[in-house]
Structure 1
Amino acid sequence: MDPFEDEPSPVSIEYEPVSVKDVLVEMKDTAELLIDLSYSAVLHRNEDLAREVLRLERQMDVLEMRARMGLLMASRNPSDAEQLAPVLGIVAATGTISDAAGDIAKIVLEEMGLPEAMRAALPEAAGVLVRGVVDVDSPYADRTLEDVDLESETGVRVIALRRGGRQTTDEDWLLNPGPTTAIAAGDVAFLRGPDTAIEEVYETLTGEVYEIPEIETPDIDDLERAVDTIIHMKNLSELAIDLAYSSVLFDSEALAEEVRNLEVEVDAMQSRFEAWTLRAAGDAPDPVALRGLIRLGTSTEVISDAAIDLSEGVFRDIEVHPVVGMAVEESDEIITRIEVESGSDLDGTAITAGVPETEPTMSVIAIRRPDEGWLLVGDADAEIHGGDVLIAKGTRTAAGAFEELSETEA
């Protein structure tokens, strides 16, 4: 079976009045889902997930063209051109992320090969993400997410839904389904959650048995180092994208500088990754199976570079058009950068499952330490030290109060 045989012909696009803000929101949400799906497709060797990435990539091409048309129509004078130039950069960078995700998906569709060690390492890094078609007899069909209450009951979250038949070109992607979103029979649902719960939810949703792949890992030290490095590169690149959008929203040079720090770190890691991959080729039973791993490293570094392009307007001290701030603000939580002063209330505070033992609190997603580099907290436990730079996510009110805890009294 040709993995690309169901690709439709390119869609003809004509100018029509659109909200640039709405298009940018959809582009950002699509880019984030593309990254998620592409790495999960690699993890599970799942051609269906990989094809969904290519569907989304085609959707992104349409969004990118519509955004460019809208921005060109909105530019009426030199002042508009100056403010909208960084927005065009954001559109192009988001398209670059989409293309990189498509290249990752093609590792599966073109059967490039990946070492089994990749499958063993990614579950911890990416969590479990599955794709399933909602069965007409499913107890979840024709009910809202609030009614089903899936996340509270099981820890499994519906991160996206796709409506429309397999051959249709007018597909309805629901990228951020909320409590009032109804699940319909025939929907393609994307679920993320703990592996202990995903199996039962998948079977209830689709009426099919979920098969957990068996994994065997070869004992090759350099290969394990290469895989560990690519996982860390992936996580840092995703963090860089988050920070880049937030740097634009808040016009924050501090956040943009952290994006640059992350990009430098990913570049250095890619160099080490390539060296370990080449060394591993000498001991691997099938060196050709490492070809996909090399593609994965290259595409991950491209995503990291795109984060720099997203922040370009901030770096160049150009006042970005308000439509960008409106778009990012609508689609994302607040991300803030906090420097912890020695002797402050945060100094020595424990973090449990990513949440500091403080009131009020924020979810700490990363720590940059002067001597140790980046520590991705996520769901892990850690302790905050004086001198740490925290990247935290939460509400506006909590962000202000949390920052006060990082300061020593005058």
Structure 2
Amino acid sequence: MPVKIPRHIEYKPKPVKDILLSMKNISSLMLDLAYYSIIYNDVRLAFEVLRLEDYIDELWVLLAMQASLAVRDAEDAESMLSILKLASSTNKLSDAAADIAILPIIGIKPHTAIRAAILYSDEVVSKIEVRNELKDTGKSIEGLFNELKIALDIIALRRHNKWYINPNPKFKIKKGDILIVRGSRESVKVLKDYVKDKTPLEEYIKPEPVDTRFARELANLKNLSELMIDLAYISVLTNDKDIAMEVLELEEHMDNKHLEVAENIIKAFRNASTSEIIGLLRVIEGFEVISDAAAEIAGIVVSDIPPHPILKEIESEAEERVLKVPLPKSSIGKTIEELSINRIGANILAIKRRGKWIVDPEPECRLEENDILIIKCYRESLKQLSRILKLDLEI
């Protein structure tokens, strides 16, 4: 790999909000692309991740320039600090994605435990081939999802030899297209059935029995790191110190768990190749970097740095939303599974009950009166979520 040499970035006038929103959306997209690239050992898509990392670096420099020009006094400087810290953390997420995506590029094939871990995750990243005709002119992504009443994130689409990264909802899907999607296992299955792709999610994932435990441990680390990012964003959006402190406590747990899993892997995989062990440790380190970025975001709230008004606008315009909502009376006594919000791409990240947090609750968890829910969903799913919960959510 050639040495990455920093290049001069010429100043371009662009609103801080637009820059930060792009950084947030692209860094999330990069993680999904990185996970996919190591599942299927896709070198071309891995290079796309590195290209996006360069773009994030450019955006970070532009944001720093724009923020510097906007500061007029000490009060402005203090207010701008929250934006700079969020941008720095977002840049760290993109670095973690690039560190994972580099594996297939340098010829390190992932151990089956890594690939299985990604499929064991709460949200799966899957390849879907469109094998049926969707009318002569094709169907838009938005129209197809509305028809199937599902919500997924198409993070990339390949048509012939060309990749379309994060295609527009109006983009027409046609027979022969390869979709890289992220979402609940249920929604992925609905789409696969509709487009006549009978390939099971686990086609390439056949871990040995000894690997299964580590695959689940890796999946837990991945889920926890992503959960921390979501909780960190909602803590900034709502200026909620309680949630921010939960993120910092999870980060301490993540530090200890990261070292424990790394040590166990070195002991258990003595007969594995050196490259496989390097791959395992590199991915675990990536999860740790993600959790560190989450802690930095939460630190904005805990350290009493006044959140800039732009931050709330960014969260409200992001492609994915994290909401803090009271449990409606109609849902009291139901289990999370019975709410059936997974189908629309929504997920309950945490529940606050009687002053304590239940993080990453099980589907069998029964909801109680006065519960506060932290829910993650796609922006397009807000209307459906409002109908299910019978709440007037801000759209």
- TM-score between the two structures when normalised by the length of structure 2: 0.77
Pick closer, same or farther for the CA change 1:139–1:8 going to 2, 3 Å.
farther
Tell me if structure 2 keeps the 8 A contact 1:254–1:337. no
- Confirm whether residue 277 of structure 1 aligns to residue 277 of structure 2: no
Name the structure 2 match of 1:407.
none
Q: Which stretch of the first structure deviates more once superposed, 113-122 or 54-63?
A: 113-122
Between the aligned partners of 1:34 and 1:288, the Cα distance in structure 2 is 23
Between the aligned partners of 1:377 and 1:63, the Cα distance in structure 2 is 36
Between the aligned partners of 1:314 and 1:352, the Cα distance in structure 2 is 32
Name the structure 1 match of 2:223.
235
Aligned positions of 1:174-189 closer than 5 A:
174=166, 177-178=168-169, 180-181=170-171
- Confirm whether residue 130 of structure 1 aligns to residue 113 of structure 2: no
Specify every segment of 5 or more residues in structure 1 that has no aligned partner in the other structure, as ranges: 357-361, 404-410
Aligned positions of 1:35-114 closer than 5 A:
35-114=31-110
Name the structure 1 match of 2:273.
286
Between the aligned partners of 1:202 and 1:31, the Cα distance in structure 2 is 31
Tell me if structure 1 keeps the 8 A contact 2:156–2:180. yes
Name the structure 2 match of 1:198.
192
Deviation at 1:197, TM superposition (A): 4.2
Deviation at 1:83, TM superposition (A): 0.5
Name the structure 2 match of 1:326.
313
Between the aligned partners of 2:265 and 2:68, the Cα distance in structure 1 is 45
Structure 2 residue matching 1:15: 3-state secondary structure: coil
Structure 2 residue matching 1:108: 3-state secondary structure: helix
Deviation at 1:88, TM superposition (A): 0.8
Aligned positions of 1:344-355 closer than 5 A:
348-352=333-337, 355=340
- Aligned-partner residue type, residue 265 of structure 2: T
Q: Which stretch of the first structure deviates more once superposed, 290-299 or 107-116?
A: 107-116
- Aligned-partner residue type, residue 22 of structure 2: E
Pick closer, same or farther for the CA change 1:314–1:288 going to 2, 3 Å.
same
Q: Cα deviations across residues 243-264 of structure 1 (Å, max 9, x unaligned)? A: 2122111211122122213212
Name the structure 1 match of 2:204.
214
Tell me if structure 2 keeps the 8 A contact 1:140–1:183. no
Name the structure 1 match of 2:374.
391
Tell me if structure 1 keeps the 8 A contact 2:81–2:305. no
Of 21, 25, 45 in structure 2, the residue corresponding to residue 29 of structure 1 is 25
Pick closer, same or farther for the CA change 1:138–1:337 going to 2, 3 Å.
closer
Tell me if structure 1 keeps the 8 A contact 2:96–2:286. yes
Structure 2 residue matching 1:191: 3-state secondary structure: strand
Between the aligned partners of 1:143 and 1:8, the Cα distance in structure 2 is 41
Q: Which stretch of the first structure deviates more once superposed, 61-70 or 96-105?
A: 61-70
Name the structure 1 match of 2:141.
145
Tell me if structure 2 keeps the 8 A contact 1:41–1:49. yes
Tell me if structure 2 keeps the 8 A contact 1:115–1:293. yes
Tell me if structure 1 keeps the 8 A contact 2:89–2:293. yes
Deviation at 1:185, TM superposition (A): 11
Identity %: 27
Between the aligned partners of 2:4 and 2:138, the Cα distance in structure 1 is 29
Pick closer, same or farther for the CA change 1:54–1:374 going to 2, 3 Å.
farther
Between the aligned partners of 2:164 and 2:125, the Cα distance in structure 1 is 24
Between the aligned partners of 2:353 and 2:105, the Cα distance in structure 1 is 40
Between the aligned partners of 1:366 and 1:43, the Cα distance in structure 2 is 28
Tell me if structure 1 keeps the 8 A contact 2:248–2:298. no
Between the aligned partners of 2:104 and 2:352, the Cα distance in structure 1 is 34
Structure 2 residue matching 1:391: 3-state secondary structure: strand
Specify every segment of 5 or more residues in structure 2 that has no aligned partner in the other structure, as ranges: none
Between the aligned partners of 2:173 and 2:65, the Cα distance in structure 1 is 33
Between the aligned partners of 2:75 and 2:158, the Cα distance in structure 1 is 41
Name the structure 2 match of 1:119.
115
Deviation at 1:144, TM superposition (A): 3.3
Between the aligned partners of 2:91 and 2:240, the Cα distance in structure 1 is 23
Tell me if structure 1 keeps the 8 A contact 2:41–2:109. no
Structure 2 residue matching 1:216: 3-state secondary structure: coil
Tell me if structure 1 keeps the 8 A contact 2:108–2:276. yes
Aligned positions of 1:4-23 closer than 5 A:
13-23=9-19
- TM-score between the two structures when normalised by the length of structure 1: 0.74
Q: Which stretch of the first structure deviates more once superposed, 52-61 or 41-50?
A: 41-50
- Confirm whether residue 268 of structure 1 aligns to residue 217 of structure 2: no
Tell me if structure 2 keeps the 8 A contact 1:247–1:311. yes
Q: Number of paired residues? A: 372
Between the aligned partners of 2:160 and 2:69, the Cα distance in structure 1 is 34
Between the aligned partners of 1:287 and 1:29, the Cα distance in structure 2 is 35
Between the aligned partners of 2:193 and 2:8, the Cα distance in structure 1 is 40
